[in-house]
A and B are shown apart, each in its own frame.
Chain A
Amino acid sequence: MAVRDSWRYVRAGLITLVLVLAFVAGWPARIPKLVRAWPPALARVALLLPSLQEKVLTPFAPAAGALGITSEDWALFTGTGGTRYRMWIEGRAASGEWKLLYRAHDPEHAYLGGALEYRRVMNVWNPHHDWISSSYPAFTRWVARRAFRDFRRLRTVRVRMEEVRILPHGAGFEPSGRFAYEELLRREDVAP
């Protein structure tokens, strides 16, 4: 009975610790951005939080890492609109024009559409503001290898992102004709 009673206190203590750590881990990583418009005195105090956060969490990082827990900061869809991207995948035979294989939201060109739009794959290629995964080049090699296997005449595959402007009032987007994150892959470069 005494053990059970002690355990109740230990467990409540551990849960309290978890709640405190979760709260500290939830302080936004975007604090410097969030406090830009704050009164300077308040912003200075807020800017102390990231280093305090690190000091508090560091001793517990190995335990969190073992469970794959990275953060309690849920910055989901913080920014929308403005410049976005639309992925194009094209292929070209030895002497010929580029042929569009896949373009986001283009039912006429949906090669590997299901796989590319599967959320774990999409995370690899979808640019986030000015950032793209460091695995993007490896992804383009994988795409090219699949395309060369499925289309025997192709010699080159190109993967790139067209910049698009999101239109107001839910009117969709406007293509810009400008491209970023372009990767050009030749058959001999990606041979298995």
Chain B
Amino acid sequence: MIERWVAFWDRREAPYSLALVRILLGTTLLFDLLEAGYFNVVSLLWAPAPSGAGWNASALPTPFGVRVLGASAETARLLWWFAVLACVLFTLGAAYRFTSIALVFALVEIGACQPVRDGIDALLHIVLAVLAVSGAGEAWSVDAWLRERKGKKPRVIPAWPRYLLFLQVIWVYVSAGHQRGHTWGPFGSFSAVGDVLGDPHFARFTPGSLARFYPLMVLGTMLTMTFEVTSPLILLWTWFERRPERGGRLGDFARRFHLRWVWLAAGASLHAGIALSMNLGIFPYGVLALYPVFLHPAELSAALARAPALLRRRAA
């Protein structure tokens, strides 16, 4: 039993899934950071009063940047630039081992200076820490390109960071699903999505303008709850696909009706729906950027190999 557990965490695989996570997540985070610069709110978010609403002396521990450079608008701007630069290099996979750690450090620094952090901030801290010790920079990166130019072969990487992130995403859903209030269930008439779309701070469209689609909002609430609470089943559906000889009738059923792909499509639709209808910042994009962890690298490379032929066929 122990030997099997050790062997499981010792598996290795091609780096494509994690490389895609690196690119998608890095791009999402970069966009989010650049928005702060574009809207000229860097001082507001990360500088202390009176120039901003960020770090205050009662916060513990004091961020390293503040200890060295002092708490000021200039320090806030410097930390932001550092985070942007680290994020660009991380996304490109340039000196990945160093830049991934630099990005973790930068986010810890700006996180400590920021007055309030939300769910996606908390998730990014965990995910980036795991990515920093992974081989996500081994493909589709500047590092990989340089290695290829030197005639070196592509490397396989440990699979455990992908497995951990796989479990992390499921846990986010399970934890969120089990804590929902009554408006997410039958006693609250499944009104939650309709309520959020009526909230002037979160609705993307004019509150009330979509009332004629209320049955769809109820359906969306039901599907969200079902999806989240049953999300651990993706482990089972994935295992059934990996082991076509296992699972008995249930396994046959899951494979026949492609339940793994149904689950992934439901998750992607859920986040696309949130992105379309609610003002929740990068949350839906940040979680969607993690979805490649549900794909085995072999699936991803096979899909990419098929893509040019498909595109040619479409063009013809």
A138 touches B49 (CB 8 A): yes
Q: Is the C-beta of B295 less than 8 angstroms from some C-beta in chain A?
A: no
B residues within 8 A CB of A172? 198, 206-209, 211
Bound-complex Cα distance A136 to B52 (A): 11
Q: Is the C-beta of A96 less than 8 angstroms from some C-beta in chain B?
A: no
Q: Is the C-beta of B9 less than 8 angstroms from some C-beta in chain A?
A: yes
Q: Is the C-beta of A176 less than 8 angstroms from some C-beta in chain B?
A: no
B residues within 8 A CB of A170? 194, 197-198, 208, 210-211, 213-214, 217
A81 touches B192 (CB 8 A): yes
B36 touches A133 (CB 8 A): no
Residues of A within 8 Å of B, CB-based: how many?
66
Residues of B within 8 Å of A, CB-based: how many?
81
A75 to chain B, nearest CB (A): 5
B residues within 8 A CB of A77? 176, 180, 192, 196
B residues within 8 A CB of A67? 104, 108, 125-126, 129
A34 to chain B, nearest CB (A): 7
A69 to chain B, nearest CB (A): 5
A residues within 8 A CB of B172? 74
B9 touches A12 (CB 8 A): yes
Bound-complex Cα distance A153 to B51 (A): 22
B residues within 8 A CB of A78? 179-181
B residues within 8 A CB of A166? 195, 198-199
Q: Is the C-beta of B267 less than 8 angstroms from some C-beta in chain A?
A: no
Q: Is the C-beta of A158 less than 8 angstroms from some C-beta in chain B?
A: no
Q: Is the C-beta of A59 less than 8 angstroms from some C-beta in chain B?
A: no
B171 touches A18 (CB 8 A): no
With A105-B206, A141-B49, A169-B191 given, can you name 8 additional A-B contacts, CB distance below 8 Å? A68-B104, A69-B129, A71-B122, A81-B192, A81-B195, A119-B118, A122-B279, A172-B208
Enumerate 6 A-B pairs (CB-CB under 8 Å) in ascending A order. Answer: A26-B171, A78-B180, A119-B32, A121-B44, A139-B53, A172-B208
